[in-house]
């Protein structure tokens, strides 16, 4: 029988068409993943920053609907609006720039070139300056918004995420996501004025200020890495709260838990203060709730807390119920992150990352008044479900913490040392990124988990429950195929040092233990860093891929930077034969390793 087509396609063309059809049919669904919210000065509109859709959704608050969606650059994460409501400044985390959106025309009109992975942004009161937290560069930059020029750049703590300014515009406060502190800068000059510690605070997220500019509020985990993590109850591994900082008292900090005795408040993320200064709203991303904090009661507790009581108070998971300074209500969606107050309607808006919605809550009672979809519902793939579960404390005992509490929302690391019992006690080790656990087994520093499957099963038991088969499948899909950020150290600006560093890498015989393409030999080695309490002095060789974002280094995190690793912790040359390298040659070696 003849083919019905006049010119039948050949087998090669048919195969190509099949591959094309398969690729199109397997196209990844478009999730919006709203990460932050900004409300226009007149209160009519809200702008949702859609992190995985590379867009901004425009919401009519009174009409309870999304009316438009504007494309922006890669991985938008945060935004601020000009005082006149004309321009929206949007950080492109993976584009290393801040885009300026004309809200009348709803299009990008300009871009400011930032350092690596800009995240939080805020404007000066007059809109003439833009302040940007650059999370991979560990810097804060100040730009002139009139000509787009950078005015200054200063070093912050590690992993600066969110940034806020005082109402008078005199100071900037930056929450450093990886260094357990807040950096305070002079807004005019960019000079670092103070680094304010957060005690046991870990993974600090949004920071905001009281309307009078006297107090700062920063939300974070309270991580007990100082002890062996064997009991999740009563927040003995992680609890969750908000630190209150008096800005006129250097070093001042009082931390209050938002947990309840039998119900953790996992993964605090967003924060917003009501215009009258009476309430603070904190999104609890891991339990899908919002904490409504009474600031009068809160500041009364803060003012009565003497310095010798601060460390006791930050461990008190009964405080919320004893003193009634806060209430927890449903967020109206899954994975609440950004929060913003709408002065026009007197409501609080919440961006639900995994629901692709924005909830509208009564500002006083917390009742959900409306849920605004940002588009048509998109069914969750197994991968997306795994991402949600990774960030969801409901799969853990009493909801104290999620996988993201130790590995951040992107499955990397919290930068802390933990004394896990899987290889004995008294031997704290740095948290590893999970990004290469699939193809560089075994897992853990002593290789006690043979592969990703065993590690993920163990992680679920650590959360307090036996692995659920469906959840386990989804978690494996997410962890086994992570979404990687584009490596900024592969850019042309680093080409010269990077190419010279590659030569140094092989001259120093780094490839003996870190051969490409995995950049690990997947074997344990004794580099002389073990101690008697270690199970063995031999530690698993980690991959060097994405090493630029996984500091500190070595199994116990003793090297804060890669340069420190080679200059301070390589006396015997066991970590590469670099003892004869000049300072510039070490810098070039580091440039190459960062690019892997």
pLDDT tens track for 74-90: 999 999 999 999 999 99
Q: State yes or no: pLDDT of 17 exceeds 70.
A: no
pLDDT digits (tens, 9 = 90+) for 349-363: 999 999 999 999 999
Confidence of residue 463 (pLDDT cuts 50, 70, 90): confident
Q: State yes or no: pLDDT of 245 exceeds 60.
A: yes
Average pLDDT over every residue of 215-235:
94
* 47 vs 64: CA distance, rounded Å: 13
* 566 vs 575: CA distance, rounded Å: 7
Q: State yes or no: pLDDT of 472 exceeds 90.
A: yes
Q: State yes or no: pLDDT of 23 exceeds 60.
A: no
pLDDT digits (tens, 9 = 90+) for 328-356: 999 999 999 999 999 999 999 999 999 99
Q: Are strands 139-144 and 129-134 parallel, antiparallel or unpaired?
A: antiparallel
* 260 vs 399: CA distance, rounded Å: 10
Q: State yes or no: pLDDT of 9 exceeds 90.
A: no
- Of 165-179, 241-255, 527-541, the one with minimum mean pLDDT is 527-541
Average pLDDT over every residue of 150-178:
96
230-253 burial: b if 16+ Cβ within 10 Å, else e: eebebbbbbbbbbbbbbbeeeebb
Please state, as a whole number, how many other Cβ atoms lie within 10 Å of the Cβ of residue 296: 10
Closest CA to 534 of 444, 407, 413: 444
* 428 vs 52: CA distance, rounded Å: 35
**Quick one: pLDDT at residue 27?**
67
Q: State yes or no: pLDDT of 13 exceeds 80.
A: no
Q: State yes or no: pLDDT of 6 exceeds 80.
A: no
Please state, as a whole number, how many other Cβ atoms lie within 10 Å of the Cβ of residue 41: 14
Between 232 and 63, residue with greater pLDDT: 63
**Quick one: pLDDT at residue 475?**
95
Confidence of residue 16 (pLDDT cuts 50, 70, 90): very low
Average pLDDT over every residue of 121-130:
97
Q: State yes or no: pLDDT of 165 exceeds 60.
A: yes
Question: What are the start-end ranges of the H helices in 253-381?
Answer: 295-304, 310-313, 319-323
Q: Are strands 129-134 and 201-202 parallel, antiparallel or unpaired?
A: unpaired
Q: How far is CA 340 from CA 37, 47, 122, 206, 241, in A?
A: 6, 10, 14, 12, 19
Task: Report yes or no on whether pTM surpasses 0.85.
Answer: yes
* 29 vs 322: CA distance, rounded Å: 46
Q: State yes or no: pLDDT of 11 exceeds 80.
A: no
* 431 vs 412: CA distance, rounded Å: 9
Q: State yes or no: pLDDT of 2 exceeds 60.
A: no
pLDDT digits (tens, 9 = 90+) for 424-441: 888 899 999 999 999 999
- Give yes or no for a contact between 590 and 584, defined as CB atoms under 8 angstroms apart: no
**Quick one: pLDDT at residue 269?**
98
Closest CA to 524 of 540, 536, 535: 540
Q: Which two tokens stand for residue 365?
A: 């009672």
**Residue found under tokens 């396609």:** 9
**Quick one: pLDDT at residue 28?**
75
**Quick one: pLDDT at residue 55?**
98
* 136 vs 133: CA distance, rounded Å: 9
Q: Which domains does the chain have, with CATH numbers?
A: 382-480 (1.10.760.10), 488-594 (1.10.760.10)
Q: How far is CA 494 from CA 73, 336, 588, 589, in A?
A: 23, 38, 9, 12
* 280 vs 366: CA distance, rounded Å: 12
**Residue found under tokens 């929302």:** 409
Q: Which two tokens stand for residue 531?
A: 């101690």
The shares of helix, strand and coil residues in the chain, as percent rounded to the nearest 5, are 20, 30, 45
Phi and psi torsions of 489, nearest 5°: -85, 5
Q: State yes or no: pLDDT of 4 exceeds 70.
A: no
Mean pLDDT, the chain, rounded, equals 93
Confidence of residue 465 (pLDDT cuts 50, 70, 90): confident
pLDDT digits (tens, 9 = 90+) for 142-156: 999 999 999 999 999
Q: Are strands 268-273 and 254-257 parallel, antiparallel or unpaired?
A: unpaired
Q: Please, which residues have CB within 8 angstroms of residue 322's CB and are 6 or more apart in sequence?
A: none
pLDDT digits (tens, 9 = 90+) for 268-307: 999 999 999 999 999 999 999 999 999 999 999 999 999 9
């Amino acid at each position: 029988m003849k083919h019905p087509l006049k010119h039948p396609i050949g087998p090669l063309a048919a195969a190509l068409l099949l591959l094309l059809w398969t690729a199109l049919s397997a196209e990844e669904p478009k999730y919006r993943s709203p990460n932050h919210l900004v409300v226009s000065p007149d209160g009519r509109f809200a702008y949702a920053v859609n992190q995985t859709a590379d867009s901004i959704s425009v919401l009519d608050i009174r009409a309870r609907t999304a009316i438009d969606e504007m494309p922006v650059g890669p991985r938008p994460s945060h935004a601020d609006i000009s005082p006149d409501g004309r321009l929206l400044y949007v950080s492109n985390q993976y584009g290393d720039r801040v885009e300026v959106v004309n809200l009348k025309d709803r299009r990008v009109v300009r871009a400011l070139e930032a350092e690596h992975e800009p995240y939080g942004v805020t404007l000066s009161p007059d809109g003439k300056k833009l302040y940007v937290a650059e999370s991979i560069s560990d810097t804060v930059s100040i730009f002139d918004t009139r000509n787009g020029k950078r005015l200054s750049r200063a070093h912050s703590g590690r992993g600066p995420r969110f940034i806020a300014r005082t109402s008078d515009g005199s100071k900037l406060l930056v929450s450093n996501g990886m260094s357990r502190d807040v950096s305070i800068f002079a807004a005019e000059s960019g000079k670092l004025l103070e680094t304010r510690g957060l005690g046991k605070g870990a993974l600090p997220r949004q920071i905001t200020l009281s309307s009078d500019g006297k107090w700062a509020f920063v939300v974070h985990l309270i991580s007990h890495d100082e002890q062996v993590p064997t009991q999740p109850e009563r927040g003995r591994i992680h609890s969750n709260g908000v630190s209150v900082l008096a800005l006129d008292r250097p070093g001042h900090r009082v931390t209050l838990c938002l947990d309840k005795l039998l119900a953790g408040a996992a993964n605090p993320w967003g924060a917003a203060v009501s215009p009258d200064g009476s309430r603070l709203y904190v999104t609890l991303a891991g339990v899908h709730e919002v904490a409504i904090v009474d600031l009068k009661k809160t500041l009364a507790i803060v003012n009565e807390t003497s310095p010798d009581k601060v460390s006791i108070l930050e461990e008190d998971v009964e405080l919320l119920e004893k003193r009634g300074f806060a209430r927890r209500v449903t967020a109206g969606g899954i994975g609440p992150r950004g929060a913003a107050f709408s002065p026009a309607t007197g409501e609080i808006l919440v961006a639900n990352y995994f629901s692709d919605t924005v909830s509208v809550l009564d500002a006083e009672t917390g009742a959900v008044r409306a849920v605004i979809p940002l588009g048509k519902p998109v069914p969750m793939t197994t991968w997306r479900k795994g991402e949600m579960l990774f960030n969801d404390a409901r799969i853990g005992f009493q909801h104290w913490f999620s996988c993201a509490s130790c590995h951040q929302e992107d499955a990397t690391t919290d930068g802390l040392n933990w004394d896990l019992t899987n290889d004995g006690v008294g031997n704290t080790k740095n948290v590893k990124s999970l990004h290469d656990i699939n193809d560089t087994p075994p897992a853990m520093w002593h290789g006690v988990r043979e592969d990703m499957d065993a590690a993920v099963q163990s992680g679920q038991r650590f959360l307090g429950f036996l692995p659920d088969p469906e959840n386990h499948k989804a978690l494996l899909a997410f962890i086994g195929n992570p979404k990687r950020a584009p490596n900024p150290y592969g850019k042309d600006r680093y080409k010269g040092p990077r190419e010279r560093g590659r030569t140094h890498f092989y001259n120093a015989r780094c490839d003996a233990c870190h051969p490409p393409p995995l950049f690990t030999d997947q074997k344990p080695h004794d580099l002389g860093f073990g101690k008697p309490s270690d199970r063995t002095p031999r530690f698993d060789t980690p991959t060097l891929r994405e090493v630029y974002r996984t500091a500190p280094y070595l199994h116990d995190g003793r090297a804060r930077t890669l340069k420190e690793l080679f200059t301070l912790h390589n006396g015997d040359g066991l970590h590469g034969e670099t003892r004869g390298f000049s300072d510039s040659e070490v810098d070039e070696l580091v440039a190459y390793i960062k690019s892997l």
